Structure 1
Amino acid sequence: MNALTRICPGPLKRALSRKPTVAVLRLHGPIGMGGRFSRGISDAALADVIERAFASKPKAVALSLNSPGGSPVQSSLVAGRIRRLAEEKDIPVYAYVEDVAASGGYWLACAADEIMADPASILGSIGVIHASFGFQDLIARHGVERRVHATGANKAFMDPFSPEDPEHAKRLEAMLHELQEVFTDHVKARRGERLVTDAEELFDGRVWTAAKARELGLIDGIAAMKPDLQARFGKKVRLRLFAPKQGLFSRFGGGGAEALSEAAAAGALAAAEERALWARWGL
């Protein structure tokens, strides 16, 4: 026993035997969907969780990722927060994709220093989409007259109850192309020389299996979270999950029957939107 262990054997022994810890952030669900009753991913819902994960002084932060996409703004905000903290605290970040990391889900994956996936994972869909409906013929058949009063020629932009205006459609397409450039620049900046090509096929909305994604440089390997982290940090590595703390009362806003009714309506809408996003990938 050396002099240091004789002076403080207990604390030193505990320090030497302490297991390495990896903080796990669970990023599951659609991004920015459903408002305050959403079970999905948003910066407001996860800001405190992400901050606590990095503040816990882990060896690394692991992203358990399973998302069909959603809001580009929320994707950018969450990914940006992860990158800022990773660089400030000099902590590596590893992403582990489960079923899918598509569109905004892949945007989040690129916040990691390395991306791993399951052999059956679906990845990519690097693109931007806007979808809506046109109800003008339906309401006309039922004798419904649409009345719109607006101060500005573009205030009723893409109104679903009016015939599509070619100028509005052209302006929308221009906006989508601008958002696509932001997404593409993010992927190129994060993946860098690992991308084997910057061909258009990478950024036209296609999705890939994990094996093909690895060939293209969109991911770094095929592995599950626990065995991969054990290979990196040893068999005794401890995985510590960080997730939002939200009780039943807070989920319904604490407003009694009215809040319960609002929650039910909002939950049904959010569930329908979420179902549509997952269904695109056969899930």
Structure 2
Amino acid sequence: MSDEQQRGDNGSGSPASDDFPGKESGDRWTDGPEVAPQAKQQPLTGAQSEGVKSGGAKGDDAETLRERQRLAQLEMMDRWVGGVLTEQRRTRRWKLFFRLLLLAIVLTSVTAMLYRVFFAEPTASLPTQRHLALVEVHGVITSDSPANAERIIKGLNRAWSSRSAAAIVLHIDSPGGSPVQSQRIYAEIMRLRDQGDKPIIAVIEDIGASGAYYIASAADSIVASRASLVGSIGVIYAGFGFQEAINQIGVERRVMTAGENKAFLDPFQPLDDDVAQFWQGVLTQTHQQFIDDVKAGRGERLSDSPELFSGLVWSGEQALELGLVDELASLEQVARAQVGEADWENYTPSLDPFERLTRRFTQTAAEVLGLQRTQAPLRFQAQ
């Protein structure tokens, strides 16, 4: 073979550079030995090995393996997201279940309350055998307390209309309260008493004083325990005078009224003699109303003790001697005497839970805002 052929072949079977136009000898991109088509395959790199382990073929290049790895990561992410969405759907279903359950409970309660108020007969479940019809007077007697005139009067009328009730019992455990509320209840008891259908008995537990005794005096008879507190026939007004204190701390009181005596009970103004005399006249007149009604209810059973209407409170034994009560006994003893056994039914209207919650919220809000509740300054209440 000639030298030209050897240069043209380069010992590798490839054409010489002179056979390719535009290519110069010594080009670094074309010079050098060719890689044989069946050259020995290089060992896999770490990434390629991981690719093979993750499902790639042994002959895949690095780019293919990276793509396979990315797809595997996306698949894993899809499974994780699917699990999270499944758990969220499960959580939402439980939340929806409990909300529907709460709604069902509320609707059931409201339906039962409305049925009881508007449709249910108050005495439908009461026994037909003879029993005592109980009406409770518990706590302070005010318009916004459980012992208010409207509730007690409603209970009295329900008890009075019961044919199987042998007697009506005013179950009293109260220190008194509002004169107006007490007078309303007193008047209703006297009205029922005049009808003469069944006896009305006042049973005093721990205390039946002031406005509570006002109510009891309208009953046909009054029963108390030996240690019960009875009496306190009087009227009270209590306040404070801060006129000196407000001057010492340097606060100016600003009150504007139309009427010279409109603010005569202002605790930051001095109480002069004319105002005190006027207010004492109001107390005396209200006290006389109390005395007259007690006498009308008790009649000649009262003693002529000068201290009877002084506002003192006595034990049950002392009250018996003064004619303030008729008998020393318990509720069980009264029931046995009237119906032969300790059997009674409570006719006091049940308290509306929603109304009680609303009233408590209103009172709390008024206290927080510094607003005063409207109430009479005079009290038939033991102190």
TM-score (norm 2): 0.60
Match of residue 43 from structure 1: 149
From 341, 351, 356, give the equivalent of 1:251.
Answer: 356
Distance, in Å, in 1 between the alignment partners of 2:150 and 2:360 is 22
- Aligned residue for 1:170, secondary structure, equals helix
Equivalent pair of 1:24/1:63 in contact (CA under 8 Å): yes
Q: In structure 2, how many angstroms separate the alpha carbons of the residues matched to 1:219 and 1:76? A: 19
2:364 alignment partner, one of 245, 257, 264: 264
The corresponding residue for 2:118 is none
Compare CA radii of gyration and give the structure with the larger one: 2
Amino acid at match of 2:198: I
Equivalent in the alignment of 1:102? 209
**What is the CA distance between 1:245 and its match in structure 2?**
2.2
Q: Decide whether the 8 Å contact of 1:252 with 1:263 is kept in 2.
A: no
1:27 partnered with 2:132:
no
1:214 maps to 320
Q: Is the 8 A contact 2:177 2:381 kept in 1?
A: no
Question: Contact 2:132–2:169 at 8 Å: present in 1 too?
Answer: yes
Contact preservation (8 Å) 1:158, 1:165: no
Partner of 1:168: 275
- Among 179, 186, 190, the residue aligned to 2:297: 190
Q: What letter corresponds to residue 321 of structure 2 in structure 1? A: E
Aligned pair count?
Answer: 247
For the residues of structure 1 that align with 2:261 and 2:173, how far apart are their CA atoms? 38
Partner SS for 1:244: coil
Amino acid at match of 1:208: W
| Matching residue within 222, 238, 255 for 1:131 | 238
Letter in 2 for 1:250: E
- What amino acid sits opposite 1:135 in the alignment? F
Contact 2:210 2:231 in 1 (8 A): yes
1:202–1:232 CA distance, 2 compared to 1 (3 A) = same
Question: What SS does the corresponding residue of 1:111 show, helix, strand or coil?
Answer: coil
- CA deviations 1:215-270 (Å, max 9, x no partner) are 111100100012222123212x63110223223222133xxxxx764243569999
RMSD of the TM alignment (CA)? 2.5
Q: Residue 119 of structure 1 aligns to a residue in which SS?
A: coil
The equivalent residue for 2:334 is 228
CA distance in 2 between partners of 1:143 and 1:108 (Å): 47
| Partner Cα distance (2:183, 2:293) in 1 | 9
Bigger relative contact order (CA 8 A; separation at least 6): 1
**Aligned equivalent of 2:343:** 238
Do structure 1's residue 66 and structure 2's residue 166 form an aligned pair?
Answer: no
Quote the Cα distance in structure 2 between the aligned partners of 1:279 and 1:141.
Answer: 34
Unaligned runs of 5+ in 2: 1-126, 374-379
Distance 2:284 2:382 in 1: 25
Deviation at 1:163, TM superposition (A): 1.0
Q: CA deviation at 1:45?
A: 3.2
